[in-house]
Amino acid sequence: MKIGIVGASGYGGLELIRLLHQHPEVEQIDLFTSSEEGSMFSAKYPHTLTLYDRALKGINEDSLSSCNVVFASTPAGVTSELLPPLISEERRLIDLSGDFRLKDPAVYKHWYKKEPAPIEVIEQATYGLTEWNRDAIRQACLLANPGCYPTAVLLSLLPLIKERLIDPTQLVIDAKSGVSGAGNTPSQMTHFSETNENLSIYKIHAHQHIPEIEQAIEQFANASIAVTFTTHLVPMTRGIMTTSYAPVYEGITEEDLLNCLQETYQSSPFVRVMQDATKFCTKQVYGSNFCDIHVKLDRRTNRATIISVIDNVVKGAAGQAIQNMNIQMELDETTGLTHVPLFI
């Protein structure tokens, strides 16, 4: 397989290279840049020396068209123009940005403050939440890979909402991310002296993943709700933890909640439902494609606390994108993704 990566020098791109380098079906990886054509990738990232001593290519339709799979890991607003001319049965396009996730262009414009992709292209895009959409993903020429937070939130909540075990109208989701979630462009928010030894809340009631979470809950669990979702920046490099709170319906026990999650994911190798959460942390999935989930019922309040952890650049971005590619290419979905988490 010949792969093209646009936005290779960003964090999502770097992680795609790390994972695809060890993928047994990948023969060639071409890296594309909008700003550094001709420069050596290993000069920019010395850790890739001897592994990836190739020059970055300028983005052009002919070179991208020669790839079997094109991953785009670019800021919002880029792929809405870049990818439509490349759509073809001949290749698979996998977009890691939010440009094709939201079905209503007005909603995209409102939350991303960018011009949306043409509606007829948005309609062709398939949402790549792997464990919930495998049949559509298999056929998709244009795939919208989910956002990092929505991946962790949806994998943990969809089974419980779909099976009507928790009341989604009362749902509150509290999410925390490491700094790599913000990409490799330095900003005031990610400045070491303001991130280290600090904990901040950001984009209160204004995060662009709110409509994505609501849309997917409607699509996969058939519930139309508005969620309360808050995001925090934690002084660590990788990792997302989401903690969600919702009342359970009458008569529902903790065993019902755990059984529901376990049954849903019994054939999903990357979702691990933990019986016990005395130790439950982002490091248990660090560098891996796992999403770990736990649920506990507070009998005093009759509210469930649902926790999930992912590595934002693996299951939240590059790993899930490759899992989707594997499905599209009719490979085992774990191919090239069986890394053991880096715990220490």
Residues that bind ligand NDP (CB under 6 A): 6-7, 9-13, 33-36, 73-76, 78, 96-97, 147-148, 180-181, 183-185, 312-313, 316-317
What value, to the nearest 5°, has the Cα angle with vertex 22 and ends 19 and 28? Answer: 95
x/- mask, ligand X2W, residues 184-223, rule CB under 6 A, reads: ------------------------xx--------------
The window from 77-85, 174-182, 284-292, 328-336 that contacts ligand X2W (CB under 6 A) reads: 174-182
- If binding is defined by CB under 6 A, does position 97 make contact with ligand X2W? yes
- If binding is defined by CB under 6 A, does position 233 make contact with ligand X2W? yes
Using CB under 6 A as the binding rule, the residues of this chain from 125 to 154 that contact ligand X2W are: 147-148
Cβ proximity of 79 and 99 under 8 Å: yes
Distance CA 306, CA 165 (A): 12
Residue 141 among the catalytic residues: no
Q: Which is nearer to ligand X2W, 148 or 325 (CB)?
A: 148
* Contact partner, 159, from ligand X2W, ligand NDP, none, Cβ < 5-8 Å per class: none
Q: Which residue is nearest to ligand NDP (CB)?
A: 10
CA nearest to 148, candidates 224, 204, 96, 214: 96
Residue count (the chain)? 344
**Annotated active-site residue in 67, 141, 148, 260:** 148
Side-chain half-sphere CA neighbours of 178 within 13 A: 20
The window from 3-11, 47-55, 177-185, 260-268 that contacts ligand X2W (CB under 6 A) reads: 177-185
Rounded least distance, CB 231 to ligand X2W, Å:
5
Sheet containing 303-310: which strands, arranged edge to edge? 200-202, 228-233, 172-177, 240-247, 303-310, 291-298, 271-273
| 204, burial (CB in 10 Å: exposed 0-12, middle 13-18, buried 19+) | exposed
Consecutive H or E run containing 259: helix 254-264
* DSSP code at position 114: S
Binding-residue total with ligand X2W (CB under 6 A): 12
- Hey, how many other C-beta atoms are within 10 angstroms of the C-beta on 180? 22
Residues with catalytic function? 148
Contacting residues toward ligand X2W, per CB under 6 A: 76, 97-98, 147-148, 177, 181-182, 208-209, 231, 233
